[in-house]
């Protein structure tokens, strides 16, 4: 520790002012008080440094000692991250006590004592550049964990560990005079360097139909999920955490509930990854800064997550960062800036909120890594608008910076239509590009299917508004069928219960088949109405096999069989006079 002693002069919650620090720079870590609570320098004015403390500062007094560590806020990166739970500063929570008292105990340090099997892939004497692979360790969840030459090192491999057990304290190699430890430290607010940023190419497959079929996001893209409380943000994000086709997920519970994190941990531990056969927990890194944990660590947790994601991206992996909720992070920014006496902009948020949000989402992308591999980071963030007001600053700024928006609608949630993604209020700016990818990968109908579904839903909404005004029976048949088709799309395709054994996850082929089935049946209804079949007869038809297909049909093939049966029944619909109903069809 290159410490210089100094003194606390002012304490107001997480804001601590310190005088007498010499050679201090912005963003450096300073420890304050008897219990050496960590904080970060956020302003320097003459001889006074303003420190944002990451722990509860009760008892810290003017005159208490302050020590500069001479380093920036850093997180420890290594294989110990996978399958484990950390606080906002990346300190492991598994070995910590039941109550987090900053004075009573320091958290155990990260990843020191665990052991992994290491297999070298480079050789002593090789000349390697930054980001090149030295070898791999066996990580839980089947993640291909590579040990890389650090970004600032290169040269000849002088020493390389042979195959065998390694721990978090071990040095794996010496490259060009630099020691390469298995677990290294990185200043989390700084991006880890890459060779090149690439454009998006492929969709992230989430297993959630409304996303994959209507509002997809690319690997390396960004998406935001705004919605009032109880609209299903957390459930949707947890579904994506469980089922999306990424290699590593970094889940940040940022200022949200403790119980729901506990529930997710329990569930992840019991689930198997359908792609690797490993435990799903093994590909997941969880950063837990619940709403009652120190607010300023919430601010840091977002950057810790980004640094962890970049660490895995550098190995050539596809990483997804899920942040629930970015609004709580923004509130931490607001809290500190207001204590610090900054000029407030909208709703008390600092004027820098927009740029801070933009910079966070810019850590997403598809890249060529320093080692020449392709890796990506997708960022998905929940937004919790105060009072459900979508014009508030965090929601309105975020909408501008993301490529996809999944707006959750209170009325849909209230009607138990889950996921409550509003088709009118959501967008996917990369849909065209994703259509091209699907066309190249065996699904040329993707774009047309999406267009038909969107058109149907819009028409159903218009017809529904008319029906509310004048009663459904007063509408012309075409519009009545539109209302019927809208219902089939909503119930047969878009609704997807997170609690369902069979349907919580839906692959692309089955999603496409379900959508095609509903489109074919809707089209047939419209045709029949055109031929004179009365609308009530079509409305009364029993479509339940079609609507239950998402639960009952385990494969795309089975969905098509069900659709064919429904179509056949409809084909038999005689063009009868109204009133003569077929038995058994109501």
Partner 1 sequence: MTETAGGGWARPEFTAVEQLRGPLLIARGVKGVGWDEFASIRLGAGELRHGLVLEVNGDLAVIQVLEGTAGMDPNDTSIEFAGSPLRIAVGPQWLGRVCSGRGEPRDGGPPVTGELTMPVAGFPVNPALRLPPAEPVLTGISVIDELTTLVRGQKLPIFSVAGLPHLELAGQIAAQASAQGEPFSVVFAAMGLTHADAAVIRAILEERSAAGDLVLFINLADDPVIERILTPRLALTVAEHLAFTLGRHALVVMADMTSYCEALREVSMARGELPARRAYPGYLYSDLASLYERCGRIEGLPGSLTMVPALTMPSGDITHPVPDLTGYITEGQLVLSADLHARGIYPPVDALSSLSRLMRHGAGPGRTRDDHLDVAAQTLAALAAARRARELSELIGSAALGDSDRRAIRFEQAFETTLMNQGPAESRTLAETLRLAWQVLGVLPRRDLTMISASAVDRYYP
Ligand X SMILES: Nc1ncnc2c1ncn2[C@@H]1O[C@H](COP(=O)(O)OP(=O)(O)O)[C@@H](O)[C@H]1O
Q: Which residues bind ligand X (CB under 6 A)?
A: 227, 229-235, 418-419, 497-499
Shortest reach from residue 458's CB to partner 1, in Å: 23
Number of residues binding to partner 1, judged by CB under 8 A: 60
Report the alpha-carbon distance of residue 542 to residue 294 in Å, rounded: 55
Shortest reach from residue 76's CB to partner 1, in Å: 17
Q: Which two tokens stand for residue 575?
A: 């063009």
450 interacts with partner 1 by CB under 8 A: no
Q: Which of 163, 386, 455, 565 binds partner 1 (CB under 8 A)?
A: 386
125 interacts with partner 1 by CB under 8 A: no
Report the alpha-carbon distance of residue 567 to residue 562 in Å, rounded: 9
Report the alpha-carbon distance of residue 483 to residue 459 in Å, rounded: 8
Q: Which two tokens stand for residue 410?
A: 């209170």
Instruction: Provide the β-strand partners of residue 248.
Output: 319
Q: x/- contact string, 493-512, with partner 1 (CB under 8 A)?
A: ------x-------------
**Span interacting with partner 1, options 113-121, 142-150, 168-176, 327-335, rule CB under 8 A:** 327-335
241 interacts with Mg ion by CB under 5 A: no
| Nearer to ligand X (CB atom), residue 43 or residue 498 | 498
Alpha-helical runs (H) found in 341-499: 353-361, 393-401, 410-414, 431-440, 446-470, 477-489
The H or E element containing residue 313 is helix 295-313
Instruction: Look at residues 196, 215, 192, 216 and name the one whose alpha carbon lies nearest to residue 204.
Output: 216
Give the CA angle between residues 69, 72, 74 to the nearest 5°. Answer: 105
Q: Which of 112, 184, 276, 291 binds partner 1 (CB under 8 A)?
A: 291
Cα R_g (the chain), whole angstroms: 27
Shortest reach from residue 216's CB to ligand X, in Å: 18
Shortest reach from residue 421's CB to Mg ion, in Å: 15
Q: Which single residue is written with the structure tokens 């006496």?
A: 341
From the list ligand X, Mg ion, partner 1, none, which binds 348 (C-beta under 5 to 8 Å, kind-based)?
partner 1
| Nearer to ligand X (CB atom), residue 172 or residue 261 | 261
Cα–Cα distance list, 51 to 28, 71, 362 (Å): 9, 14, 26
Shortest reach from residue 401's CB to partner 1, in Å: 22
575 Cβ contact list (under 8 Å, min separation 6):
528, 531, 532, 533
Dihedral through CA 73, CA 79, CA 83, CA 85, nearest 10? -20
Report the alpha-carbon distance of residue 274 to residue 509 in Å, rounded: 15
Report the alpha-carbon distance of residue 213 to residue 438 in Å, rounded: 11
Q: Which of 66, 237, 288, 525 binds partner 1 (CB under 8 A)?
A: 288
**Span interacting with partner 1, options 214-222, 340-348, 394-402, 454-462, rule CB under 8 A:** 340-348
Q: Which of 11, 240, 364, 370 binds partner 1 (CB under 8 A)?
A: 11
Cα–Cα distance list, 87 to 110, 293, 416, 443 (Å): 11, 9, 34, 43
Q: Which residues of 416-432 are buried (b: 16+ CB within 10 A; e: fewer)?
A: ebbbbbbbeebbbbbbe
| Nearer to partner 1 (CB atom), residue 63 or residue 432 | 63
Number of residues binding to Mg ion, judged by CB under 5 A: 2
Shortest reach from residue 210's CB to ligand X, in Å: 10
Give the CA angle between residues 348, 350, 351 to the nearest 5°. Answer: 120
Q: Which of 144, 158, 189, 257 binds partner 1 (CB under 8 A)?
A: 257
Asked if 78 and 182 touch (Cβ cutoff 8 Å), the reply is yes
Residue 340, SS3 per DSSP: coil
234 interacts with Mg ion by CB under 5 A: yes
| Nearer to Mg ion (CB atom), residue 233 or residue 510 | 233
Q: Which of 205, 206, 290, 378 binds partner 1 (CB under 8 A)?
A: 290
Q: Which of 266, 272, 352, 500 binds partner 1 (CB under 8 A)?
A: 266
Report the alpha-carbon distance of residue 29 to residue 51 in Å, rounded: 8
Asked if 314 and 186 touch (Cβ cutoff 8 Å), the reply is no
Shortest reach from residue 382's CB to partner 1, in Å: 11
The H or E element containing residue 86 is strand 85-86
From the list Mg ion, partner 1, ligand X, none, which binds 182 (C-beta under 5 to 8 Å, kind-based)?
none
Shortest reach from residue 97's CB to partner 1, in Å: 7
Shortest reach from residue 233's CB to ligand X, in Å: 3
Q: Which of 21, 67, 82, 295 binds partner 1 (CB under 8 A)?
A: 295
Shortest reach from residue 15's CB to partner 1, in Å: 9
Q: Which single residue is written with the structure tokens 């810019």?
A: 362
Q: x/- contact string, 348-367, with partner 1 (CB under 8 A)?
A: x-------------------
Q: Which of 125, 162, 177, 387 binds partner 1 (CB under 8 A)?
A: 387
Tell me which residues in 454-483 interact with partner 1 (CB under 8 A). Answer: 471
What are the residues binding Mg ion (CB under 5 A)?
Answer: 233-234
Q: Which residues bind partner 1 (CB under 8 A)?
A: 9-13, 17, 56-64, 85, 93-94, 96-101, 228-230, 253, 255, 257-259, 261-263, 265-266, 288, 290-295, 328, 331, 334-335, 338, 344, 347-348, 384, 386-389, 414, 471, 499
């Amino acid at each position: 520790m290159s410490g210089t002693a100094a003194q606390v002069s002012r304490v107001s919650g997480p804001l601590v002012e310190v005088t007498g620090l010499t050679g201090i720079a912005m963003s450096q870590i300073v420890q304050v008080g008897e219990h050496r609570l960590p904080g970060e320098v956020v302003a320097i004015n003459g001889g006074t440094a303003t420190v944002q403390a990451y722990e509860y500062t009760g008892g810290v007094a003017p005159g208490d000692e302050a020590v500069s560590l001479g380093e920036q806020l850093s997180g420890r990166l290594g294989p110990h991250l996978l399958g484990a739970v950390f606080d906002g500063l990346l300190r492991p929570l598994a070995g910590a006590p039941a109550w987090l008292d900053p004075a009573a105990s320091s958290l155990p340090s990260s990843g020191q004592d665990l052991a992994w099997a290491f297999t070298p892939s480079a050789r002593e004497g090789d000349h390697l550049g930054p980001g090149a692979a030295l070898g791999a360790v066996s990580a839980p969840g089947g993640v291909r964990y590579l040990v890389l030459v650090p970004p600032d090192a290169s040269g000849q491999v002088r020493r390389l560990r042979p195959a065998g057990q390694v721990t978090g304290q071990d040095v794996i190699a010496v490259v060009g005079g630099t020691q390469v430890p298995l677990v290294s430290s990185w200043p989390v607010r700084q991006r880890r360097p890459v060779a090149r940023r690439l454009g998006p190419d492929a969709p992230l497959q989430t297993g959630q139909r409304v996303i994959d079929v209507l509002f997809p996001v690319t690997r390396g893209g960004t998406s935001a999920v705004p919605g009032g409380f109880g609209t299903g943000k957390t459930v949707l994000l947890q579904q994506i955490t469980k089922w999306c086709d990424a290699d590593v997920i970094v889940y940040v519970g940022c200022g949200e509930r403790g119980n729901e994190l506990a529930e997710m941990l329990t569930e992840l531990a019991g689930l198997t990854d359908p792609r690797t056969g490993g435990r799903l927990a093994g590909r997941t890194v969880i950063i837990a800064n619940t709403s009652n944990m120190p607010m300023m660590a919430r601010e840091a947790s977002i950057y810790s997550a980004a640094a962890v994601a970049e660490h895995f991206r550098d190995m050539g992996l596809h990483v997804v960062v899920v942040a629930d909720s970015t609004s709580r992070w923004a509130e931490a920014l607001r809290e500190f800036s207001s204590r610090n006496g900054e000029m407030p902009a909208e709703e008390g948020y600092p004027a820098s909120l927009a740029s801070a949000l933009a910079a966070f989402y810019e850590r997403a992308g598809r890249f060529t890594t320093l080692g020449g591999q392709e890796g990506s980071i997708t960022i998905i963030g929940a937004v919790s608008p105060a009072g459900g007001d979508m014009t508030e600053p965090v929601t309105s700024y975020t909408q501008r910076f993301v490529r996809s928006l999944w707006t959750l609608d209170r009325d849909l949630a209230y009607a138990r239509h889950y996921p409550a993604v509003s088709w009118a209020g959501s967008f996917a700016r990369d849909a065209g590009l994703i259509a091209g990818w699907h066309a190249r990968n065996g699904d040329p109908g993707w774009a047309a299917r999406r267009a038909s579904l969107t058109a149907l839903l819009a028409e159903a909404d218009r017809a529904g508004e008319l029906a509310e005004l004048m009663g459904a029976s007063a509408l012309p048949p075409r519009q009545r069928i539109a209302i019927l088709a809208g219902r089939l799309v909503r119930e047969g395709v878009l609704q997807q219960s997170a609690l369902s054994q069979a349907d919580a996850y839906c692959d692309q082929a089955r999603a496409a088949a379900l959508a095609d089935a509903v489109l074919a049946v809707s089209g047939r209804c419209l045709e029949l109405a055109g031929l004179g079949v009365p609308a009530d007869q079509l409305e009364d038809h029993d479509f339940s096999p079609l609507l239950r297909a998402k639960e009952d049909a385990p494969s795309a093939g089975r969905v098509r069989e069900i659709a064919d049966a429904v179509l056949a029944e409809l084909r038999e619909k005689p063009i009868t006079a109204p009133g003569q109903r077929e038995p058994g069809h109501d």
